[in-house]
Amino acid sequence: MNVIVVLAVILFLLMKIIGKEKGTKSFLSLLINFFIIYVAIILIAHNVNSIVVTILACILISYVSLFYINGKHPKTTAAFLSTLLTLVILFFFIYIIGSATRIQGFSEEEFEEISLYSLFIGTNFTKIVISTIIMSLIGAIIDTAISISSSMNEVYLHNPSISKRELYQSGLNIARDILGTTTNTLYFAFIGGYMALILWMKDLHYSLGTIINSKVFCSEIISILCSSLGVILIIPITAGINSYILLTRKQNLEGDIPFKLPQEINDKLPSEDTDKANPDKISIL
């Protein structure tokens, strides 16, 4: 426990020193998201619909991660809307995949640790695996969305006359550089988390075919593939929504703030008839 506290303090100090105010907010958002996930797990354990709880938790996590750290800004709004739209689309896809592959429940490798406990816990494991996949991809989706949105905002600030089509294309070009590293991050997260299990399978002389067909391997691969699909899907969605919001906001600002003279100067201006009668007054003003 002391080690965890020391590591948390070191993490906070580094985020505070390097990230300044945003670093402090990022650390606090980490604690808030931890609390949200903890409450979600408690609700699911009390047989509240796991999918509804997961969707609500993902919305709260997205809101805290985006608006609390970056504040209210068009780029934040675009990233938030893109995240929600991608989650809605992926939810139906994951529901079909999770039901068809039947990867729910515990794997054979996990039975040794829980064999002494009752397995009749009254929970729908099909919904649990869908919730697990959605939870595992929310971080990657938020990260990709805000990265693309912030970069497009910088492009727009340096070139305000850019068109929607050009800004959208810039977003896609930026995302292509992010895509490869993000998918590799998901893959290495899987390898890092299951390194001990893979070594255990190797010591027990599992064949490559047995490893590939094991439930724990298949569930994680499906989770990685769904997360990768989410990362790919959010690219055009974020680029489209962000270019629409930025350029529409610009048009609205231009339309809402026309050039107007102050009222006292406007009263002194000659009318059209006065101008014809006394054209010198115009030159005086």
- Position with higher pLDDT, 262 vs 34: 34
DSSP of 193-218 = HTHHHHHHHHHTT--HHHHHHSHHHH
pLDDT in tens, 138-153: 888 888 888 888 888 8
**What confidence tens digit (pLDDT) does each residue in 195-207 have?**
777 777 777 777 7
pLDDT recorded at residue 80: 92
- pLDDT at 39 exceeding the cut of 90: yes
Residue 107 has pLDDT above 80, yes or no: no
Residue among 187, 194, 225, 226 at smallest CA distance from 211:
194
The half-sphere exposure of 198 on its side-chain side, counting CA atoms within 13 A, is 11
User: Is 0.85 surpassed by the pTM of this model?
Assistant: no
**The predicted structure's pLDDT at residue 119:** 63
| 3-state helix vs strand vs coil in the chain, percent to 5 | 85, 0, 15
The reported pLDDT for the residue numbered 258 is 47
What percent of the chain has a predicted confidence (pLDDT) above 90?
A: 8
What does the DSSP 8-state code read for residue 270? P
pLDDT band for position 279 (cuts 50, 70, 90): very low
